Structure 1
């Protein structure tokens, strides 16, 4: 499990990308990403989440987002409604 706190902006989204890539390297059966402490996830952060989800699928990892903040939940739904990444 991993959690994101604070704001994920275009200036620090690379940290989220690098962390998710590192976590996926160990190929856990499930990667649960908690977003409830994230105040903001910008467009580049959402792209990082989508790319990580795609890579997780290639590796056979079940990646899920748990308890996104209400704003992040709306952003993720608008990005791809009905996407299995969403709870």
Structure 2
């Protein structure tokens, strides 16, 4: 495909990778005590949920099949 080799008509497009602003953004507002407490409670709630899921999930993933063969139901014993 034919490409024309012309200079860029706008200098700011050609210098976009070198552009630096002289305007500094305003400083970030500090989080209040209630916001920090809320974030902490949410984090602890998530952590407790993961820990609970792990506690209840590990026994369900247990592959010990030896003990399940020894168990019989009451209905099968009364025959």
Per the TM superposition, whether the score is higher than 0.5 is no
Give the structure with the larger helix fraction: 2
Give the structure with the larger strand fraction: 1
TM-score, scaled to structure 2 = 0.26
Greater C-alpha radius of gyration: 2
- Which one has more relative contact order, counting CA pairs under 8 Å at least 6 apart? 1
